[in-house]
Structures are given as structure tokens and as C-alpha cells.
Amino acid sequence: MGSLAKGISLVRHRFFSANPFFLVFHITARCNARCAFCFNWEHVQQARERPELTLEEIARLTARLGPLYQLTLSGGEPFLRRDLPDIIRLFATDCGLQTLTIPTNGMLPARIGASLERALADNPGVHIRLGLSTPEIGPELEAVYQVRNAFAKHQESAALLTALACKYSNLTLTAATLCTAANAGRIRDILAHVRRQMPGFISQLALVRGSLTDDSLKQLDPALARELFRIHRAIFPEDDNRPLAGLLNVLGDSVNEYSLACLERTAPWIPCRCGDRLVVLYDNGDVFPCEYLDRPLGNVRAADFDLKAVLASPQARATVDWIIREHCQCTWECASFVNFFYSPLNMARVLIRYASRPAPPRAVGVVDGDGTS
Ligand code: SF4
Ligand code: SF4
């Protein structure tokens, strides 16, 4: 599906649907890595005791959900679920899903390749954005993931994904780097590696967030973070192959600037639409407004798998009111993306910026150095 069709669908969801626009679904808490920056660590540790929603239960949920534009299937490690392609198929057929993001740590190359290829072939109308986590390169990745031969597995996954991107136009590859106090000094090297050694990948930089086992990772100097984002944009100036990529990239830049301003505590408040337009569903059916607020909205198992009934409950409405009343604010890019999209003033600014930007350069091969020259 091209940009025009996606654009029409985007407008329809924005203006004519009362459904959530963006669902983050942690389909499993199981993970084969052990990252110190994991914001979901408590669930990962308790994975064995957490009863995951089964495929049959997910089918009951999608049957009642209605239209959905953006879905993120996260974890844990989402590819640990062998029924991942079946889950994607349910959202595509029952909810008319338009765009899907799947983050992965890349530690299961063969499974990732096979599972993703099935999903791409089965759902040509769904544009899939595969985010290969790249918090480090070389032997340091083994230390971060605590997985033997982590970098070799990561690069094997990258090569398989590059081959899939050549075959399927509904796939975009990103190398997702979480910027922490631990890797800030190595971000330039990581970005250069992505540019040189991971063909077909666009880098995605994000700020560390959430409550971590090692909170010192969040002690990131705001000025350094700002500089790293500038370098990132210099190295990766071009648009990717997503429908509406130009507009989405301008929106992404605006969101990044907002996150940096939040880090510097200078950002104006934008109403957060979590619990309403963005919703987080966990592996055990718990529903939360976002990944950070410890204010559950309910559980889909207790609501006969009707997510909209959970969101309409007094408990959920009270939390949504609380978010607005307290001017809740944070650096989570997914929430900011939705918040911009539902803020007429900020979306107008994004559109003006998009209309007045110079034509982006075409995708290039390798940029020498840190892209600053
Ligand atoms: S790969 Fe993701 S889910 Fe697993 S430990 Fe690392 S950050 Fe957490
Ligand atoms: S501002 Fe952040 S913490 Fe608050 S509700 Fe939104 S995403 Fe959650």
C-alpha cells in the first residue's frame, strides 16, 4: 500500500475513529538477554509465573477491537513466541492494521528470519518496521546482553534482515540504539558501524527511560545528548522507504527535540493521550496507559477480552483525567509521537516544517567520520 492510501487511512483514524490509534502489546515477558537498561526488567524476571495471553485469547481480543493504525509487538523478546506471525495475521485481518513495529535483540537469527518472512508474505498491506536493538557493537554487546557470541548473532540477524528488505518492499529496517550514560561516548562508533556495515538499515536513536535496575544509566548530560542527536541526523539525513516517510521523519525530529527539551526540563506541556489514543497491553492481559505509570486500567481477561470496555471503565477514565490534570510529561518517544499527532497546534507546526524543508538527500552508502565535516 502506497503513501496515498496510508495517508487516507491515517486521516481516517485521526479524525473519524474513537479507537486507540497506537497499541503497544508486550506479547511475552520472556527474554534471552539481560540488559541493565531494561525498563521491563521486573516482568522479564517473573516471566515464568506470568500467564501469557494465548493465541486463542488474542483472537478474541482482535475480534472485538476494531480498527487500529499502529501496533508495536514487544517483549521480552517477541520472536520467542513461535506464533508471532499468527498474532500479526489476526491484527491485520481483524483490525485492518496499517503499520507494525517489532523490536528485537537479534539473538535468534534463524527464527527472526523465518518468522518475519512469513509475516511479510502473509500481510503485504501491513508495513513492518523491524527495530534491531543495537546498543553496542563488537565484544561490548556480549557484556550488555549477557549472551555469548552476541555480536556474531546480531550481525547474522542483520544480514538476514538486509536480504529480506531487498525482497519485501513492506519492510523497513532500523538499528535502534538506546542512548545511556554508559554508551554515550561510543554512540559515534555505533552510528558509523550501522552506516558502514549494516546495509539497508536506518539508525534510530532514543533516550534511556523508565525505572531501571541501574538508574545511573539515566545520568545523561543533556548537552551531550543534544549533540549526539545532531550527529545522528548528519549521518542519517535521508528518508527511509516507509509510506509517508518524509512526514514521519519530520515528526520524529520534532519528537526528538521535545524529548531533549524534557531532559533539559524546558519543554512546554503537551496533553498526553496515553490511556486513550495510546494503550499498553501486557503479556498477562494487564492494561496500562503507558510503560511508566504504575496505574493499571484493568485486565482484558476480566473484561471478556474487550479492550475498549477496559478503557471505558471508571478506573481507566479516572487515570486519563489524572494524566491531564497533573500535566504528566516524560521523554517516551511513542507517547510524544501520538501527543503531537493529536495536538492541532503542534501538528500544524510539523506540517509547516515538512512543507518548507529542503529536499532530503537520496540514501547514501557510507559517510566518513562522524558526519560533522
Ligand atoms: S532485550 Fe529488551 S526485553 Fe530483553 S532484557 Fe534487553 S531490554 Fe529487556
Ligand atoms: S507523560 Fe509519560 S509517564 Fe505520563 S502518561 Fe504520558 S507516557 Fe505515561
Confidence check: pLDDT of 240 > 60: yes
Q: Regarding predicted confidence, which is higher, 161 or 8? A: 161
User: Of the ligands numbered here, which is closest to the C-alpha atom of 217?
Assistant: 1
Give 132 Cα–ligand 1 centroid separation in angstroms: 12
Residue whose grid cell is 528518508: 239
Using alpha carbons, select from 352, 103, 341 the residue that is nearest to residue 204: 103
pLDDT at 170: 96
Judge whether residue 303 has pLDDT over 70.
yes
To the nearest 10 degrees (0 to 180), the angle between helices 109-122 and 150-167 is 20
Q: Given pLDDT bands bounded at 50, 70 and 90, which one contains residue 77? A: very high
**pLDDT score at 104:** 98
Which ligand 1 atom sits closest to the C-alpha of 34?
Answer: 5
Reported as a single tens digit per residue, the pLDDT across 257-283 is 998 898 888 999 999 999 999 999 999
Give the phi and the psi of residue 170 in degrees, each rounded to 5. Answer: -90, 25
Say whether 128 sits in a helix, a strand or coil. Answer: strand
pLDDT number for residue 37: 87
pLDDT in the model for residue 362:
57
Quote the cell numbers at residue 326. Answer: 497533573
As a whole number of Å, the end-to-end CA separation of the chain is 38
Find the 323 Cα to ligand 2 centroid distance in Å.
7
Report how far residue 13's alpha carbon sits from residue 8's, in angstroms, rounded to the nearest whole number: 9
CA–centroid distance, 181 to ligand 2, in Å, is: 22
Mean pLDDT confidence for 327-355: 94
Whether 331 has a pLDDT exceeding 60, the answer reads yes
- Residue 105 Cα: closest atom of ligand 1: 1
* Residue 372: pLDDT band with limits 50, 70, 90: very low
Ligand 1 binding pocket (C-beta < 6 A) is: 31, 33-35, 38, 40, 44, 75-77, 105
Confidence at 361, pLDDT banded by 50, 70, 90: low
Question: How far, in Å, CA of 8 to CA of 67, rounded?
Answer: 14
Average pLDDT taken over every residue of the chain: 92
Q: Give the per-residue pLDDT at 212.
A: 78
Give the residue, 359 or 98, on which the prediction is more confident.
98
- Give the atom of ligand 1 at the shortest distance from the alpha carbon of 178: 7
Taking only the tens place, the pLDDT of each residue in 29-51 is: 999 999 988 989 999 999 999 99
User: Contact, 180 vs 212, CB < 8 A?
Assistant: no
Ligand 2 pocket, Cβ-based, cut-off 6 angstroms: 272, 274, 289-290, 292-293, 323, 328-330, 332, 335
pLDDT of 363: 52
Q: CA 171, CA 225: separation in Å to the nearest integer?
A: 29
Give per-residue pLDDT as tens, 83-133: 999 999 999 999 999 999 999 999 999 999 999 999 999 999 999 999 999
**pLDDT value at 342 more than 80:** yes
The reported pLDDT for the residue numbered 368 is: 36
pLDDT of residue 125: 95
What CA–CA distance (Å, rounded) separates 306 from 24?
Answer: 16
- pLDDT tens for each residue of 170-182: 999 999 999 999 9
pLDDT digits (tens, 9 = 90+) for 190-201: 999 999 999 999
State pTM to two decimals: 0.93
pLDDT tens digits, 186-225: 999 999 999 999 999 999 999 887 777 777 888 888 899 8
Probe residue for ligand 1, chosen from 26, 32, 44 as the CB with the greatest number of ligand atoms within 8 Å: 44
Which numbered ligand comes closest to the C-alpha of 319? 2
Considering only 60-64, 129-133, 257-261, 316-320, which range has the smallest mean pLDDT? 257-261
The predicted model gives 3-28 an average pLDDT of 91
Indicate whether 326 pLDDT > 90.
yes
Which residue in 58, 197, 170 sits closest to 116, CA to CA?
A: 170
CA of 258 to the centre of ligand 2 (A): 14
pLDDT of residue 359: 78
